[in-house]
Amino acid sequence: MSFLGNSKELLLAYSGMKEQSLSHSVNIMLTPQFYTLKKEELPLKYLYQAKNIASSLFDGFLEDAHKYDYLVYKEENEWIFIAYDLEAISNFLISKGIKPEQVGKIFFAQQASSSFTAPVLLGEREALVSLDNTVVIIPKIALDEKSEAVVFDDSFTPKTGVTPQGAHSSLLSQKQTIGLAAFFMLFAFMFFVEGWRYSHDTQATQEEMQMLLDEHPSLQSQYTRESIAAKYKTIDKNERKKREIVKTLAGMIFKGVKVGSFSLNEKAFQVEFICSDAKVAKRLIQLAKKSEFNSAKIMTGNVVHIEEKL
């Protein structure tokens, strides 16, 4: 199985050819019997422009019942337009024993006009010749008696040809192929990028950890870190609690309330508020309960006493 189409055997296809029995794939060169040729000198710069106008150039020349494709290329100052019916060609090849899957590329004799330096015989009655750079079929009797026919071989293979898309039983059209392949490739790209991102994130986090370890060599050991963390977390928690209590108690001082005494240590605190009257003391008790100081109670002389553990 060769992946290079041009290295295959080149077979000249003409209406009177013999039936073939092929065991391998071949490239096909078609005689003018299978295509319509037009040469035009047009002020066009790009190939796509020429391709766009190809169908209009053949208006009135081709049978409407057929579906034509076009091969366009430039030769010196002229644009060469070749119209062909791929289905008709395919049917012809099948009738000659050439299965669609055995066809590599299809070429047109006109593409190899420069190779037709001498006539190529098509059976016993006709010959393929190049006249004024146009490959045509002429009767053999019209040939000059002195001219010698050349053998048609692979050297006639042009550089570019037509891949018979749709001529054989492919399940997917070219458009469907491009669409599906693009869809899958897009997702493939997204998956790879996402995968790379995850991998990169993990790496970045590890680098960050290493940087921290380098900056703090004393914390290299996990055991040391856990020990220090436990110590400072306890300190942080306790000290925040002490400050929160002082802040809450300060917020309970309003008109008619004075701090009589306050004492705070590592384990507990107690406070005595001197209230101006019983009403103020009662209100203070309510405030204390709201702040979850449930031990708050009124002592003699409108003194509110709170004593809690930390």
Partner 1 sequence: MNWKLYKNELIVALALLLMLSGFFYKNTQISSGTQEMLSTKHAVREFRELVSLQKTWSNKNMSKKVDKLEKIVPPSKVKWSKKGKKLTAVYKDLDPKELNKLITTILSMAVQIQELKINRNNSSYDVEFKYKW
Residues in contact with partner 1 by CB under 8 A are 1, 3, 5, 25, 100-104, 163, 168-174, 176-177, 180-185, 187-192, 194-196, 198-199, 201-202, 205-206, 208-209, 212-213, 216, 219, 225, 228-229, 232-233, 235-236, 238-239, 242-243, 246-247, 250, 258-266, 274
Q: Is the Cβ of residue 56 or residue 218 nearer to partner 1 in the bound state?
A: 218
Give the single-character DSSP code of 41. Answer: -
Q: Is the Cβ of residue 238 or residue 294 nearer to partner 1 in the bound state?
A: 238
Token pair for residue 77?
Answer: 């100052």
As a whole number of angstroms, the distance between CA 265 and CA 271 comes to 12
Contact 269, 262 (CB under 8 A): yes
Q: Is the Cβ of residue 62 or residue 264 nearer to partner 1 in the bound state?
A: 264
Q: Is the Cβ of residue 57 or residue 303 nearer to partner 1 in the bound state?
A: 303
> Which one, of 75, 81, 82, 83, lies nearest residue 132 by Cα?
75
As a whole number of angstroms, the distance between CA 106 and CA 34 comes to 11
Q: How far is the CB of 39 from partner 1 (least distance, A)?
A: 30
For 34, counting Cβ atoms within 10 Å of its Cβ (0-12 exposed, 13-18 middle, 19+ buried), the class is: buried
Q: How far is the CB of 239 from partner 1 (least distance, A)?
A: 6
Q: How far is the CB of 285 from partner 1 (least distance, A)?
A: 20
As a whole number of angstroms, the distance between CA 308 and CA 310 comes to 6
Q: Is the Cβ of residue 116 or residue 293 nearer to partner 1 in the bound state?
A: 293
Q: How far is the CB of 216 from partner 1 (least distance, A)?
A: 6
Q: End-to-end CA distance of the chain, in Å? A: 87
